[in-house]
Structure 1
Amino acid sequence: MAGGATTAERGERQQDTSGPPHRPGLLSRLRPHRLRTVVILALALLVVGGGVLWVLYGSRWTRVERVSVSGAGVLTQAQVREAAEVPVGEPLVSVDTDAIESRLLRKLPRIDSVEVTRSWPHGIGLKVVERTPVLIVESTGNGGKYAEVDAKGVRFATVSDAPKGVPVLELTLSRTGSQAASLRRFGSDRLVREAVRVAGDLPGAVARAVRTVEVRSYDSVSLELGDGRTVVWGSGEKGGAKARALTALMKAAPGARHFDVSVPTAPASSGS
């Protein structure tokens, strides 16, 4: 006989339709004293963070007051500071060190590299490395002045007096024949770099005695020493082998006036 639902069955139906059990939220699960601790910590972090920001950006305690320069030789410290345009009085944390570096390299080509650092709480440090001339080129139509060339082949400065001990680079490039073809193929800048390459490969004693480095073409580089002796070097290739051959040749023929190491496996000397 069909009958109505029992009391137990009605209870089960009520439980099935009641949904998932209620879970208290985070705040309700926290005990009152723990909640106070969380609020206090959050407020403390806000206060500390705000204080740090004020010290870095708003106070006078961390603003730029001095600019120090190191590494300058030919350049004066005043020249470096002026070109750097460091924003004195501004917050130290907001100074754009990359922009300062870019300005120095652009305005002062004599600078090869520069390191810009913050010196807390009030300073900016500028550590510069100047280019060193390995050759000089006499500037035509410029009142007898000289362009300085560094080890990278960069012409970085013009000076009135030739630096002592720095060889003169002579580019005697013809506009006709094989020399013209070499000039068209490599360009004058590449030929200057080849001369620099040769100067860097010279034996120490020879390098100190070189007065002139003459470049006629890529394959024709020659040297004139201070005592009038000459060296045919050829191209800038195999510089180490040529340096060793020249050293041995000068020892074997100390009275010779002319040396040829363009082919290092068959060096030659002549004159007395």
Structure 2
Amino acid sequence: MAGPTTAERGKRQQESSGPPSARRLRRRRLRTIVILAVAALLLGGGGTWVLYGSAWLRVTHVSVSGTRVLTPAEVRDAAAVPVGAPMISIDTNGIEARLRRKLPRIDTIDAVRAWPHGIGLKVTERAPVLLLRDGKNFVEVDGKGVRFATVSQAPRNVPALELNVSRTGSAAASLRRFGIDRLVREAVRVAGDLPPSVAKGARALQVRSYDDISLALGDGRTVAWGSSENGSAKARTLTALMKAAPRARHFDVSVPTAPASSGS
């Protein structure tokens, strides 16, 4: 088969090269692409330098909010935020994990960057609902059953948790089945279900077994609560029973459908 003629080759070459205006347009496009690529590289390098190398976006202060018992200084010391480091390099998840490990009183912690120069630490502390006696000190127990702090002075209006679990008989079986930690959690559930008016005057929660939890009030009255089950129903029954028998000294709501009161 014969190849293209000289005329045909010339025509193809003319079509590929195009008129001068088309060639200039292609050169402009190529220059634009090169310029944009160089600009992107410069901007990327400049942005990296601003974030990591410059003094503009570095940590200069750490703020703490939400503390009640802890002091802001204690939180800052435990957080160990590297002041002077680039903001972008701060490991906020690591700070949160470190604070929970070093300060068990902290329930939740939110570490955030406060651009351009700050780190904010928002703290929620655990609140004691029961106290366990430990020699002359007290162990604070929160609403999740976590023993989070030992203090020398009992906080006001927090009842004591008295674990009077026998090692013999049915109480021993309950101890073997549930364990001390479970019994503590059951007591915490009871404390959370108490009517506010009763909780305010509570002196101690006494645990003898899973099914034998009672309450001692500051005025000498007692309440047999039973297990932690049906707590809301027991609370309503206790409120009604105390109104119906204001002179009674002992109340039994262990079976909320068949409550009882005695003494005067």
Normalised by the length of structure 1, the TM-score is 0.89
Residue matched to 1:149: 141
2:56 is aligned with 1:64: no
Residue matched to 1:18: none
Shift of 1:162: 0.6
Give the counterpart letter for 1:212 in structure 2.
A
Shift of 1:67: 0.5
Aligned residues between the structures: 250
Residue matched to 2:193: 201
In structure 2, which of residues 14, 18, 28 is the aligned counterpart of residue 33 of structure 1? 28
In structure 2, which of residues 139, 144, 152 is the aligned counterpart of residue 160 of structure 1? 152
What is the CA–CA distance in structure 2 between the aligned matches of 1:208 and 1:73, rounded to whole Å?
Answer: 21
Residue matched to 2:87: 92
What is the CA–CA distance in structure 2 between the aligned matches of 1:30 and 1:209, rounded to whole Å?
Answer: 89
2:70 is aligned with 1:75: yes
What is the CA–CA distance in structure 1 between the aligned matches of 2:221 and 2:164, rounded to whole Å?
Answer: 19
Deviations 1:70-122 (A, max 9, x none): 01110011100000010111111011111100110000000001000001111
What is the CA–CA distance in structure 2 between the aligned matches of 1:148 and 1:29, rounded to whole Å?
Answer: 81
Q: Structure 1 191/29 Cα, relative in aligned 2: closer, same or farther at 3 Å?
A: farther
Question: Helix, strand or coil: the match of 1:165?
Answer: coil
Shift of 1:30: 6.7
Residue matched to 2:104: 109
Deviations 1:175-209 (A, max 9, x none): 11111111111110110010000010011100101
Normalised by the length of structure 2, the TM-score is 0.91
2:167 is aligned with 1:172: no
What is the CA–CA distance in structure 1 between the aligned matches of 2:59 and 2:186, rounded to whole Å?
Answer: 45
What is the CA–CA distance in structure 2 between the aligned matches of 1:252 and 1:65, rounded to whole Å?
Answer: 63
In structure 2, which of residues 240, 256, 260 is the aligned counterpart of residue 248 of structure 1? 240
Q: Which structure has the larger Rg?
A: 1
What is the CA–CA distance in structure 2 between the aligned matches of 1:237 and 1:207, rounded to whole Å?
Answer: 18
What is the CA–CA distance in structure 2 between the aligned matches of 1:181 and 1:189, rounded to whole Å?
Answer: 15
In structure 2, which of residues 193, 210, 224 is the aligned counterpart of residue 218 of structure 1? 210
Shift of 1:29: 11
What is the CA–CA distance in structure 1 between the aligned matches of 2:61 and 2:78, rounded to whole Å?
Answer: 15
Give the counterpart letter for 1:133 in structure 2.
P
Residue matched to 1:184: 176
What is the CA–CA distance in structure 1 between the aligned matches of 2:27 and 2:155, rounded to whole Å?
Answer: 82
What is the CA–CA distance in structure 2 between the aligned matches of 1:67 and 1:204, rounded to whole Å?
Answer: 38
Shift of 1:49: 1.0
What is the CA–CA distance in structure 1 between the aligned matches of 2:170 and 2:60, rounded to whole Å?
Answer: 61
Give the counterpart letter for 2:198 in structure 1.
V
Shift of 1:244: 0.7
What is the CA–CA distance in structure 2 between the aligned matches of 1:132 and 1:63, rounded to whole Å?
Answer: 35
Which consecutive aligned stretches of 4+ in structure 1 deviate over 6 angstroms post-superposition?
21-24
What is the CA–CA distance in structure 1 between the aligned matches of 2:88 and 2:148, rounded to whole Å?
Answer: 33
Deviations 1:4-61 (A, max 9, x none): xxxxxx43xx57xxxxx9997xxx9971111111111111111111111000000011
What is the CA–CA distance in structure 1 between the aligned matches of 2:25 and 2:146, rounded to whole Å?
Answer: 71
- Percent identity over the alignment? 68
> Mind listing any 5+ residue stretches in structure 2 that lack a counterpart?
5-11, 17-22
Give the counterpart letter for 1:126 in structure 2.
L
Give the counterpart letter for 1:268 in structure 2.
A
Cα RMSD between the aligned structures?
A: 1.7
